[in-house]
Structure 1
Amino acid sequence: MREGTGDGMSRVGIRELAAELGMSISTVSRAMNSRGEVSAATRERVRSAAERLGYQPNQSGRTLRRGATGTVALVMQTNTARTEMGETFYFAVCDGLQQVLATRSMDLVLLPVGPAKDPYRYLVNAVDRHIADAYVISNTHREDARVALLTERGVPFVALGRGGPAGHAWLDLDFEGVAAGSVARLAAAGHTRIALACDDGDVNSTWEYARGYRRALAEHGLTPAAEIRLPDAPGSGEVLADRLLAMSPAPTAVVLAQETLALGLYRRLGEVGVRPGADLAVVGFRKNPVCDYLVPSLTSFAVSLDAYGRRLGEIVLDRVADADAPVQEVWPMTLAPGESDTAPPRVSERLS
């Protein structure tokens, strides 16, 4: 039976296509999806018949003549604590990403990976089920098995963040440059005891940020005052404050690889009468709306996440088109001065 299309025309369904070819529905489906168990000759015969009969799939966005889904999947690891704080990083990036994909009639789907799930196994299942034509993976690690998986399977992908092994497409914020710029700004103001606070995991962005921090200190003839690694969890900002307060001699400044640490840091410092910006200079990573109401305003670095997302979309389409040279690009960020690092270090000595 032919299905109506709503415009007076009838549409050939997969049953009619299978009957025309004298094949089973499952064989036709596998052929249209380029499954390896169907011979090349059978795939070509099925596709030719589909074109001749005007076969169109029911699934929105599927282009079965190419064996494609018309979909790009963003695999994102969820963090309940950040979501409850109003963190919108991925959603802002998705706006720009989706705009670019739409120019090629491609859809974006989000695949959230909860804390209890193994990101690698989750991705294996998604690839095995042919959920998408291409993937964007986030929270990349220095040695990331997902990169090897997608490379070996021949699946187009872009990593949102650098991570090994090398040779694949990635787009990353300038973590190293921001850290180096933060240290240089503080050193120029006279600070010599500059601490680092960052995530305690193996996410590659943490390593890039720490590398920029150490490089800039060395360029200014300084040594690290402290490298404090903390879990990405509620209360870490308060823990950071406690550890800074307990040090002797205490740092006069701290740079934050995760700007939301400033929320708890400010709160705990205020409880003991230490003033951010006056008694301790603080520089955050990204200008984040979550931190907009901190007093004093947090010095950080701005980035247009919409533009970042659009560039990500361009690189994804580049991979779908099977371009030879994968794009590897560091996305610049711009200093957004606040009032959290304006005090000279002689005032900040009050922390000691």
Structure 2
Amino acid sequence: MTSIKDLAQHLGVSIGTVSRALNDKFDVKPATRERVLKAAAELGYVPNQAGRSLRQGNTGLVGFVLETSSEGMMQGDLFFIRVFDGMQSVLSEYGLHLMVMMSPSSEKSDEYLQKIVGRRLADALVLSSTRRIDPRVNLLADQNIPFVMLGRSQTDRGQPWLDLDFEGMVTDAIERLHARGHRRIALAVPRQELNLRYVMLDTYRTQIERHGLAFDENLVIETAPGDNGGVALAHHIMEMEDRPSAVIFSDPIHPFGLYRGLTEMGLVPGKDLAILGIATRLATVLNPNLTHYRVRLFDLGRRVAQALIHRLPHLNTENPPPVIRERVPFTLVEGDSDLPLE
């Protein structure tokens, strides 16, 4: 690999001159700068990013902290891939690169984040799998590390966040199912520490009561993520003594398990159980067609990156920087999995 020393020897100039030319310093003649840049291109010079980071005080990296046990990691879900693609499309405009940091299920997420903070591996971070009470917020805020949350938390230090409009999804789903004659509507919720659970549950209770229905805690079912979680959910519902006629879910892989579980019992999705929730393009393979809510994940990723750029002092020109806090709406995709109750 060609180094600055190699360039200097090739051009017959000092290493300092080459360094100043590559970094566009004012005290280098235009003709010299042109010679250096031309030689660098011809000889395949690649800057040492680690050394540059030490000199400039930044790494040029943005870290996305992703838990390997998170719902979006299950069964090959493409949720985060599209989000990453959207983020990088913005970060590239600023010379930044996205680095996915995998928080292993064998280690507490707080301890993993502490290691990242201690090593200063990235200029800014994105946190996912947000908790209702999330100590990671205080950790990053106390260390003055720029970050954005993909999701919300009651732990609030003024941080920006982008979240999917789960309130709007649950409200619309109950309205739709109620209009089709369903009165016992189940809600599949994720594990207890995630803020998503409480957002969905609060909205569900409000909307159920708004439609004159009694809230039944037995219809709120904590469900494991992924395809297997969907299978277990299907069996749980169909084995209930006073079983619901419909279910709402947020895990985009759950419908695959719900369909499989119902088929195993000789039942028909949409007819024997109305199914309505969040899904990705992968759901187009299901038969009957899944009625579901979808969000433009690429655009979500772009917005997350834009919120993060505002947090980087060397890139943001606004003072004070804007704090983006937005709920991203879903689009309903019509199908045949939420038929009227017979």
TM-score (norm 2): 0.82
Change (3 A) 1:333 1:11: farther
Number of aligned residue pairs = 309
CA distance in 1, matches of 2:244, 2:328: 30
Q: Which residue of 2 aligns with 1:26?
A: none
CA contact (8 A) 1:61 1:71 kept: no
Residue 282 of structure 1, aligned match among 275, 279, 293: 275
User: Displacement of 1:297 after TM fit?
Assistant: 1.4
Change (3 A) 1:126 1:133: same
Whether 1:245 aligns to 2:238 is yes
User: Displacement of 1:12 after TM fit?
Assistant: 3.9
Q: Which residue of 1 aligns with 2:68?
A: 78
TM-score (norm 1): 0.80
Q: Which residue of 1 aligns with 2:292?
A: 300
- Which runs of no fewer than 5 residues in structure 1 stay unpaired? 18-49, 348-352
Residue 170 of structure 1, aligned match among 161, 177, 198: 161
Residue 92 of structure 1, aligned match among 76, 82, 103: 82
CA distance in 2, matches of 1:140, 1:83: 15
CA distance in 2, matches of 1:176, 1:220: 16
Change (3 A) 1:73 1:61: farther
Aligned AA (2:238): L
Residue 265 of structure 2, aligned match among 269, 272, 275: 272
CA distance in 2, matches of 1:60, 1:165: 34
Whether 1:146 aligns to 2:136 is yes
1:181-213 superposed Cα distances (whole Å, 9 cap, x missing partner): 111110111211111112123111222122222
CA distance in 2, matches of 1:84, 1:147: 25
Q: Which residue of 1 aligns with 2:97?
A: 107
1:99-126 superposed Cα distances (whole Å, 9 cap, x missing partner): 1111111111110112112111111111
1:60-92 superposed Cα distances (whole Å, 9 cap, x missing partner): 694555411111111111249965732111111
Q: Which residue of 1 aligns with 2:327?
A: 330
The share of aligned pairs that are identical, in percent, is 35
Residue 199 of structure 1, aligned match among 190, 201, 215: 190
Change (3 A) 1:107 1:179: same
- CA RMSD for the aligned pairs? 2.8
Aligned AA (2:334): P
Q: Which range is displaced more, 315-324 or 137-146? A: 315-324
CA contact (8 A) 1:296 1:340 kept: yes
